[in-house]
């Protein structure tokens, strides 16, 4: 059957539809828990072409409709099956500035792959893996040539934050001739891609390659620059024609149960930042340590919880538990991530709610008191509501815990920008169609608007805002206002 | 990347660090801090501002050399580079016309209270300063502080200058000096701030302390600097670093500061005493 696919007859008369997705080569679990290298190794050329050949090239592609940035998916997949990878990556980059990142961390099963026609009877085309393949192929060809840049239009845009939303806006506007400065509060660019997502899921070399690409477009990057403190938004507005705020989801949430200020109790942001941004896993070669713990509990069931649990294993923990109050079906993490975690030996305590953290006499976490839950009727989120079972208390012996239940948007800019409308959760309020805030010449997007969400939705918001900024400034440029 | 203008030991183990950071200098306010990395691969450590000059574009801090990272800082020479220097961070000191204000400083805090004293004096307050050290040879900036206050009073633990003892004698010293503060602001080691708060509670004097927990990003993102104030969780980096000393849960704070003691991380750069705190 594979031969017929390779000969390019899929979809042709008499050919069979191939419902089986090509598996992704991965590091073996026993091996990968001992290193921080990337787990998924990527398709080979042969695997990529085979997988690409499964695409039915639908006339009205449902996959493209499922993509937040509207990538022309059948077109780039067709390039792969024909072996023209250079054309494929060009096609991809028309709409997506960060294919190497999105190919790895987008929840494709909820987006493009969810609507793939093949998915009705078999496996949808592995769109994400193919996207990654093209990006990695391009990187392997050597330094990436920046596209020809238009002449400067003389207008300046400030981008606050160098995560996925910021990078998208910076790249889009640079390609339109704007002079863009991107401000980053930390000492490395990339936002959550750098401090949050671990090396084994998204290698830092890929993030820095993307950042270098944006810089090659003429974008100026200012590190260690905390907008809201080093300069306020109002100060930036005096020297820039427009400002786009993508400061990310800042403040970590805690469970608000007793004992959360004990030592050994981390927010996922702290745990992952110590490991990823500060290279705590390389202590003492790097100066920032990350305490070795033998038994670690991670609270939450999303991707960040999986990242934290798998990081704990790699740091040498003997036993790592995901403590989640609902059941396997409700896990918000991508199936791929929870499967990876399980393969690596993470123990899942479903229907379990932490109610109290107990410390030793020195103020270090030693035990976690939990209660068992059962699922009741669906709640506002559509998921069945977990209900505590009375008298079901149990204790888990743990010497570290990581709280991965979400974040509120970073407060520094709302705190220091008068007249900026902010929602109940501290999120910056924008007009969804344009990304405009309540302040003139000020746009926002990404997690600072939505609360913690996906990389691709942040990029989608960036794309929208870049479009609106361009529309506004180019109109103004030619008009009487300026 | 910032350039070092000056780095010198002003008294044993305490160093003055001045860097060229024009934008930080321009936005700096009393009570702010910066976060820096002394070298590539280094930790992010917070240092309170002791002075700045917006015209010259320079920013000055005083730091204690305690562990590996501050040792790196202490080796810097003029013209040297600091790879990361971000700020000014934290909320600024509340400057109003309070009446009489007593500023208490110990260790690096002797430097930190200088800009606060200057602004409080300019705002029309009667400003008194009380500085503490183990011995007279560990005191600095006495003359500078005199220029922005009515009087500088000294306590040394060995009695080599001024009052002998520790801030445990605060109530007595206030009486002897005839100072009746409407507000006290303390910058120093945790023990000193805790002790002053304990002393002033029965006296009913509003006491502001500048908390110095472990920090990483310093922008509210990681939550490591959390502490309990009046029963609520606060992040020192964005909600503070100044809090009402009578509302801080000191016991919890001390335990959290100790958490990385064995690794000598965040090596108590901002802390005062030779002790862990």
Give the model's pLDDT for residue A133: 97
Mean of pLDDT values over B260-266:
48
Q: Which of A189, A194, A195, A224 to mutate to test the interface with B (most CBs of B within 10 A)?
A: A224
Give the model's pLDDT for residue B178: 93
| Chain A (440-459) residues lying within 8 Å, Cβ to Cβ, of chain B | none
Chain B interface, Cβ < 8 Å to A: 23-24, 27, 37, 41-44, 68-69, 83-89, 216-224, 226-228, 233, 235, 238, 249, 252, 255-256, 258-260, 263, 265
Q: Which of A225, A288, A452 to mutate to test the interface with B (most CBs of B within 10 A)?
A: A288
* Rounded Cα distance, A440 and B183, in Å: 41
My answer on whether A260 and A394 are in the same domain is yes
Across the interface, of B43, B235, B258, the residue whose CB is closest to A287 is B43
Give the model's pLDDT for residue B67: 78
Residue A169 near residue A153, CB atoms below 8 Å: no
Question: B112: part of which helix (H) or strand (E)?
Answer: helix B109-122
Within an 8 Å CB–CB cutoff, is residue A225 touching chain B?
yes
* Rounded Cα distance, A312 and A281, in Å: 10
Q: Indicate the Cα dihedral angle A344, A348, A354, A358, nearest 10°.
A: -50
* Rounded Cα distance, B122 and A401, in Å: 48
Across the interface, of B24, B219, B233, the residue whose CB is closest to A250 is B219
My answer on whether A187 and A226 are in the same domain is yes
**Backbone φ/ψ region at B65: left (φ over 0), alpha (ψ -120 to 50), beta:** beta
Using a CB-CB distance cutoff of 8 angstroms, which residues of chain B are in contact with residue A223? 84
User: Is B2-89 in CATH node 3.40.190.10?
Assistant: no
Q: Indicate the Cα dihedral angle A319, A322, A323, A326, nearest 10°.
A: -150
Tokens of A15: 């050919």
Task: Choose among B3, B14, B12: nearest CA to B77.
Answer: B3
Closest-CA distance of chain B to residue A436, Å: 24
Stretch among A126-130, A273-277, B193-197, B208-212 having the lowest mean pLDDT: A273-277
**Residue A10 CB neighbours (<10 A):** 19
Q: What is the CATH number of the domain that holds A202?
A: 3.50.50.60
Q: Taking CB atoms and an 8 Å limit, are A231 and B23 in contact across chains? A: yes
Residue A130 near residue A104, CB atoms below 8 Å: no
Sign of the torsion formed by the C-alpha atoms of A251, A252, A257 and A261: negative
Within an 8 Å CB–CB cutoff, is residue A412 touching chain B?
yes
Using a CB-CB distance cutoff of 8 angstroms, which residues of chain B are in contact with residue A187? 37, 44, 83-84, 86
* Rounded Cα distance, A392 and A352, in Å: 10
Residue A89 near residue A137, CB atoms below 8 Å: yes
Q: Taking CB atoms and an 8 Å limit, are B87 and A229 in contact across chains? A: yes
Coil/strand/helix, residue B271: coil
Bridge pairing between strands B206-210 and A156-160: unpaired
Burial (CB < 10 A; 0-12, 13-18, 19+), residue B49, is: buried
Q: Taking CB atoms and an 8 Å limit, are A231 and B265 in contact across chains? A: no
Using a CB-CB distance cutoff of 8 angstroms, which residues of chain A are in contact with residue B263? 283, 289, 291
Task: Choose among A205, A156, A208: nearest CA to A477.
Answer: A156
* DSSP 8-state secondary structure symbol assigned to residue A20: P
Q: What is the CATH number of the domain that holds A17?
A: 1.10.1060.10
My answer on whether A295 and A197 are in the same domain is no
Task: Choose among A130, A111, A101: nearest CA to A196.
Answer: A101
Q: What is the DSSP string of A218-254?
A: T-EEE-S--BTTTB-HHHHHHH-SEEEE---EEEEP-
Closest-CA distance of chain B to residue A458, Å: 18
What is the total count of domains within chain A?
3
* Rounded Cα distance, A193 and A310, in Å: 17
Using a CB-CB distance cutoff of 8 angstroms, which residues of chain A are in contact with residue B68? 287
Burial (CB < 10 A; 0-12, 13-18, 19+), residue A479, is: exposed
My answer on whether A401 and A269 are in the same domain is yes
My answer on whether A279 and A381 are in the same domain is yes
Rounded to 5 degrees, what are φ and ψ at B250? -70, -40
* Rounded Cα distance, A248 and A171, in Å: 18
Q: Which CATH architecture has domain B100-263?
A: 3-Layer(aba) Sandwich (3.40)
Mean of pLDDT values over B238-246:
95
Residue A224 near residue B74, CB atoms below 8 Å: no
Within an 8 Å CB–CB cutoff, is residue A278 touching chain B?
yes
Using a CB-CB distance cutoff of 8 angstroms, which residues of chain A are in contact with residue B236? none
Q: What is the DSSP string of A120-159?
A: GTSPPP-HHHHHHHHHHHHHHTSSPPPPPPPPP-S-EEEE
Measured between its terminal Cα atoms, the distance across chain B in Å is 30
B83, pLDDT greater than 50: yes
Band of residue B17 on the pLDDT scale cut at 50, 70, 90: very high
My answer on whether A104 and A163 are in the same domain is no
Q: Is residue A145 part of a domain?
A: no
Q: Taking CB atoms and an 8 Å limit, are B219 and A267 in contact across chains? A: no
Residue B19 near residue B47, CB atoms below 8 Å: no
Within an 8 Å CB–CB cutoff, is residue A274 touching chain B?
yes
Q: List the domain range (segments joined by +) for residue A278.
A: 254-405
Using a CB-CB distance cutoff of 8 angstroms, which residues of chain B are in contact with residue A261? 226-228, 233, 249, 252, 256
Between A13 and B36, residue with greater pLDDT: B36
Q: Which of B223, B255, B256, B259 to mutate to test the interface with A (most CBs of A within 10 A)?
A: B223
Domain termination site, one of A106, A140, A174: A140
Q: Is residue A147 part of a domain?
A: no
Question: A369: part of which helix (H) or strand (E)?
Answer: strand A365-378
Mean of pLDDT values over B76-101:
95
My answer on whether A400 and A444 are in the same domain is no
Within an 8 Å CB–CB cutoff, is residue A239 touching chain B?
no
My answer on whether A94 and A222 are in the same domain is no
Q: Annotate A60-80 with b (16+ C-beta within 10 A) or e (fewer).
A: ebebbebbbbebbbbbbbbbb
My answer on whether A262 and A391 are in the same domain is yes
B265, pLDDT greater than 80: no
Q: Taking CB atoms and an 8 Å limit, are A263 and B87 in contact across chains? A: no
| Domain ranges, ordered by start, for chain B | 2-89, 100-263
Tokens of A148: 């020809």
Q: Indicate the Cα dihedral angle A42, A45, A51, A57, nearest 10°.
A: 120
Residue A429 near residue A244, CB atoms below 8 Å: no
* Rounded Cα distance, A64 and A55, in Å: 13
Q: Counting one residue from A and one from B, how many pairs have CB atoms under 8 Å apart? A: 119
Q: Could you give the ipTM of this predicted complex?
A: 0.89
My answer on whether A397 and A275 are in the same domain is yes
Domain termination site, one of A140, A165, A189: A140
* Rounded Cα distance, A269 and A452, in Å: 12
Distances (CA, A) of A105 to A98, A125, A174, A453, B224: 11, 16, 25, 12, 27
**Nearest-Cα residue of chain B relative to residue A361:** B255
Q: Taking CB atoms and an 8 Å limit, are B41 and A251 in contact across chains? A: no
Task: Choose among A3, A15, A17: nearest CA to A119.
Answer: A17
Across the interface, of B219, B233, B258, the residue whose CB is closest to A412 is B219
My answer on whether A179 and A136 are in the same domain is no
- B44's CB contacts (< 8 A; 6+ apart) are A187, A278, A288, B35, B36, B37, B84, B215, B216, B217, B218
B264, pLDDT greater than 50: no
Task: Choose among A317, A348, A352, A312: nearest CA to A333.
Answer: A348
pLDDT tens-digit map of B144-192: 999 999 999 999 999 999 999 999 999 999 999 999 999 999 999 899 9
Q: Taking CB atoms and an 8 Å limit, are A285 and B88 in contact across chains? A: no
* Ranges in chain A, pLDDT < 70: 1-15, 476-482
Across the interface, of B87, B227, B252, the residue whose CB is closest to A230 is B87
Task: Choose among B27, B30, B255, B140: nearest CA to A236.
Answer: B27
Give the model's pLDDT for residue A95: 83
My answer on whether A259 and A197 are in the same domain is no
Across the interface, of A223, A226, A274, the residue whose CB is closest to B216 is A274
Query: Whose structure tokens read 């845009």?
Result: A157
Q: Is residue A150 part of a domain?
A: no
Domain termination site, one of A357, A384, A405: A405
Using a CB-CB distance cutoff of 8 angstroms, which residues of chain B are in contact with residue A278? 43-44, 216
* DSSP 8-state secondary structure symbol assigned to residue A282: G
Mean of pLDDT values over B31-42:
91
* DSSP 8-state secondary structure symbol assigned to residue A9: -
Within an 8 Å CB–CB cutoff, is residue A411 touching chain B?
yes
């Amino acid at each position: 059957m594979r031969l017929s696919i390779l000969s390019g007859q899929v979809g042709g008369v008499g050919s069979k539809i191939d419902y089986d997705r090509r598996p992704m080569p991965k590091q073996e679990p026993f091996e990968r828990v001992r290193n921080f290298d990337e787990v998924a190794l990527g398709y080979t050329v042969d695997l990529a072409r085979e997988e690409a050949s499964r695409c039915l090239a639908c006339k009205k592609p449902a996959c493209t409709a499922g993509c937040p940035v509207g990538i022309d998916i059948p077109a780039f997949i067709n390039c792969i099956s024909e072996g023209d990878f250079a054309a494929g990556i060009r096609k991809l980059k028309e709409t997506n500035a960060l294919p190497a990142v999105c190919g790895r961390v987008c929840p494709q099963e909820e987006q493009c792959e969810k609507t793939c026609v093949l998915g009705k009877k078999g496996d949808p085309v592995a769109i994400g893996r193919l996207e990654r393949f093209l990006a990695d192929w391009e990187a392997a060809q050597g330094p990436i040539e920046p596209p020809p840049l238009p002449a400067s239009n003389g207008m300046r845009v400030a981008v606050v934050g160098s995560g996925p939303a910021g990078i998208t806006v910076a790249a889009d506007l640079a390609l339109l001739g704007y002079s863009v400065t991107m401000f980053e509060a930390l000492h490395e660019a990339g936002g959550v891609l750098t401090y949050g997502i671990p090396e084994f899921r998204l290698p830092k070399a890929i993030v820095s390659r993307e950042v270098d690409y944006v810089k090659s477009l003429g974008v100026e990057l200012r590190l260690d620059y905390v907008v809201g403190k080093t300069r306020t938004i109002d100060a930036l507005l005096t020297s820039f024609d427009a400002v786009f705020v993508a400061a990310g989801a800042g403040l970590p949430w805690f469970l608000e149960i007793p004992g959360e200020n004990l030592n050994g109790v981390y927010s996922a942001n702290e745990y992952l930042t110590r490991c990823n941004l500060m290279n705590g896993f390389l202590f003492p070669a790097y100066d920032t340590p990350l305490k070795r713990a033998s038994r670690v509990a991670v609270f939450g069931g999303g991707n960040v919880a999986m990242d934290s649990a798998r990081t704990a294993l790699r740091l040498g923990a003997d036993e790592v538990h995901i403590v989640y109050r609902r059941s396997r079906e409700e896990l918000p993490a991508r199936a791929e991530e929870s499967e990876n975690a399980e393969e690596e030996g993470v123990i899942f305590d479903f229907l379990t709610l932490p109610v109290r953290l107990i410390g030793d006499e020195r103020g270090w976490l030693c035990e976690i008191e939990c209660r068992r839950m059962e699922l009741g009727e669906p709640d506002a989120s559509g998921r069945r509501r977990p209900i505590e079972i009375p008298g079901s208390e149990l204790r888990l012996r743990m010497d570290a815990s990581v709280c991965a239940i979400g974040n509120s948007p970073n407060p520094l800019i709302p705190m220091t920008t008068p007249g900026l409308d902010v929602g109940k959760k501290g999120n910056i309020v924008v007009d969804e169609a344009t990304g405009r805030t309540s302040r003139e010449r000020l746009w926002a997007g990404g997690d600072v608007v939505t609360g913690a969400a996906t990389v691709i939705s942040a990029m989608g918001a960036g794309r929208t805002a870049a479009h609106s900024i361009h529309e506004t400034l180019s109109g103004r440029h030619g008009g009487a206002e300026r | 990347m910032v350039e070092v203008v000056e780095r010198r030991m002003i008294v044993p183990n305490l160093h003055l660090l001045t860097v060229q950071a024009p934008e930080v200098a321009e936005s700096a306010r009393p009570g702010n801090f910066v976060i820096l990395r002394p070298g590539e691969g280094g930790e992010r450590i917070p240092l309170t501002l002791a002075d700045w000059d917006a015209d010259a574009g320079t920013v000055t801090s005083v730091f204690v050399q305690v562990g590996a990272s501050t040792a790196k800082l202490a080796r810097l020479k003029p013209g040297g580079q600091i790879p990361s220097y971000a700020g000014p961070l934290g909320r600024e000191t509340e400057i109003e016309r309070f009446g009489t204000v007593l500023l208490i400083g110990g260790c690096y805090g002797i430097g930190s209270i200088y800009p606060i004293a200057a602004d409080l004096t300019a705002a029309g307050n009667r400003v008194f300063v009380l500085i503490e050290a183990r011995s007279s040879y560990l005191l600095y900036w006495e003359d500078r502080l005199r220029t922005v206050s009515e009087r500088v009073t000294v306590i040394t633990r060995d009695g080599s200058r001024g009052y002998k003892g520790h801030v445990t004698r605060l109530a007595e010293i206030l009486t002897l000096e005839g100072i009746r503060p409407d507000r006290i602001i303390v910058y120093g080691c945790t023990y000193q701030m805790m002790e002053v708060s304990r002393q002033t509670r029965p006296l009913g004097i509003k006491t502001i302390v500048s908390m110095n927990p472990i920090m990483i990003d310093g922008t509210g993102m990681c939550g490591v600097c959390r502490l309990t104030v009046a029963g609520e969780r606060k992040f020192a980096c964005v909600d503070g670093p100044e809090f009402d000393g009578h509302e801080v849960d000191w016991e919890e704070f001390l335990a959290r500061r100790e958490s990385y003691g064995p690794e000598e991380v965040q090596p108590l750069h901002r802390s005062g005493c030779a002790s862990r705190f």
